[in-house]
Structure 1
Amino acid sequence: MTTTECVYEQTVDGFGTVRLVRVDPARDAELLHGWVSEERARFWGMREAGVEDVREVYAHLDSLTTHHAFLAYRDDVPVALFQTYEPEADRVGECYDVRPGDIGVHLLIAPAQVPERGFSGHLLTVLTTFALTGHERIVAEPDAANDKAIALLERYGFELGPEVVLPEIVLPEVHLVEKRARLAFFSR
């Protein structure tokens, strides 16, 4: 990783330096495939995808001006996949009243060799600070059955919203199955 790729950096006392770098589909597909194909990532919806499928998904995402994918590095070690998007340009925008200044997020924390107390909270502190730059409110929409993600968001201070059904999307370049999701909001 070079510093010129870094789009955001924040040092957290006692945790380390977190850097966000745009996902490069060619460079990062194998790493991301390793994360999204694990059982623990079943809610990400890519367990059956091959490396080339992952590369294609992130190449498509990289072509959009409304959706962005980042790798989060902690002291130069990749620790999470973080995606931001404009809710009005996403299927979630059909499920709630989007406000000016809203930004949507997706987070997949990398598998840990040894769980670390406070890790997710420190990481969320950095990621929400980044996401709220120029925005007023974050919307997250984890799978309604993903109790761990919902509990993490709630512990962090997200206000839980309603359960919604995100509609299926079928386009030549992307297919997303219908999904029951739980909305969660975090305001500046």
Structure 2
Amino acid sequence: MTLRPCIDAASGTVLDGWAGTSRHWPVADADIAVECLPRDVRAARLLALRDGEPIAEAELRSDPDGVRLALTGSVGRHPADAPVVTALVEAAFQRCPDARRLRVSGLGGAPALLALAATVENTPAAPDAIVERALFYQLPLLWLTAGARTAYPLIRSQLGPQDRLPPLRPPQPNGPFYRRWLPQLGTTLSFRTIDRRHDLGLFHGWMNQKRVAFYWELAQSEAELDRYLADQEADPHLFGVIGSFDDVPVGYFEFYWAKEDRLGPYYDAEDFDRGWHGLIGNVEHLGRPKTLAWFRAITHYLFLDEPRTRRIMGEPRATHRKMLSYCADAAYETLKEFDFPHKRAALVCCERERFFREVPL
């Protein structure tokens, strides 16, 4: 197993060798840059920086028996080191996209690893912490903006469809709430809630594109779309989102709780099932690699947002073959076809365990 080539953050081009910088946003800290400095095709030095100043260092090595991260000095031995250790672990998984687990040398049971590693393996020198990729990407230590959302306890609400009364839902996020560096694209993907006070013109322009209007049927005036967004603000089961690459708006998405959505009566819905709709409005960012990045990032966020969510559901048109192919590449399985009042739909489902086991992030 060799290391993945790094991508230049400014140009998006693959760099010669393995050098490059990635960005990481620990919830409990300011953003951290991790520089990857090659030693050879199987080893690299990872240097973590905050505001341009080095704060930690590690060696990443890929050997026949797996991938190993060796932290330098005392880093990892204090609970306050958790943000920088988490950033280094993410950088290591980015550089080794085929690695299912990461061995952190000599830090089994160390305070900064206790929230990352559920397994320890003994060695003659000291126990190693074992970080499983499929578990790591479910942990809300990176990617979610601090304070963006907190899961509610299971309190049954009396508001909602009377045959499908949901739990009491948390309020929708406000402002930015998810951010992640995409090494394969050399860009940062982020989500923020739509704000009709500032985004109405952008939303109107996207909805009135002919290719968007065919599916969304919202080619309306700004006043009509303002009412559409105002109705969303008063609806606890969904909210609208602007997705950006490097803070440039690219698409609009709606995230919803499936049980009380129009989809709920068509299958055996669980309290914490989620779903989403989306469009790419910025035509400069069309194409399969970027669209698939949205599918994966949305699904990742929805699983992070509520740890009790086991399934992400969807109802694309049954004839929309391109959409269904994206679904398949993001671990969504087509369960059946059914008739909505307005379309023949395919019921698709992405299960948590399969997503984190199979989908590269």
TM range (shorter): 0.7 to 0.9
Work out whether residues 310 and 351 of structure 2, in 8 Å CA contact, stay in contact via their aligned partners in 1: yes
Aligned to 2:346: 182
User: Judging changes above 3 Å, is the alpha-carbon distance between structure 1 residues 108 and 116 closer, same or farther for their aligned structure 2 residues?
Assistant: closer
- Note if 1:148 corresponds to 2:312: no
Aligned to 1:46: 218
Work out whether residues 20 and 73 of structure 1, in 8 Å CA contact, stay in contact via their aligned partners in 2: yes
- The correspondence for 2:208, drawn from 32, 37, 41, is 37
Aligned to 1:161: 335
Using the size of structure 1 for normalisation, the TM-score is: 0.84
Bigger fraction of residues in helix: 1
Question: How big is each residue's C-alpha offset from its partner over 1:23-49, in whole Å with a ceiling of 9 and x where there is no partner?
Answer: 1122212211211222211111213x1
User: Structure 1 stretches of 5 or more lacking a match?
Assistant: 168-177
Aligned to 2:239: 68
Using the size of structure 2 for normalisation, the TM-score is: 0.46
Moved over 3 A (4+): 114-117
Which has the higher Rg, Structure 1 or Structure 2?
A: 2
- The residue identity in structure 2 corresponding to 1:81 is Y
- Note if 1:14 corresponds to 2:184: yes
Greater RCO (Cα-Cα under 8 Å, separation 6 or more): 1
1:143 deviates by 2.4
- Note if 1:120 corresponds to 2:294: no
- The residue identity in structure 1 corresponding to 2:226 is R
Aligned to 1:171: none
Q: Which moved more, 1:133-142 or 1:111-120?
A: 111-120
Matches of 1:162 and 1:131, distance apart in 2: 22
User: Judging changes above 3 Å, is the alpha-carbon distance between structure 1 residues 119 and 8 closer, same or farther for their aligned structure 2 residues?
Assistant: same
Matches of 2:276 and 2:288, distance apart in 1: 23
Matches of 2:240 and 2:286, distance apart in 1: 24
Residue identity over aligned pairs, in percent, reads 26
User: Judging changes above 3 Å, is the alpha-carbon distance between structure 1 residues 147 and 59 closer, same or farther for their aligned structure 2 residues?
Assistant: same
1:127 deviates by 1.2
1:80 deviates by 1.3
- The correspondence for 2:264, drawn from 93, 97, 120, is 93
1:114 deviates by 6.1
Matches of 2:222 and 2:327, distance apart in 1: 29
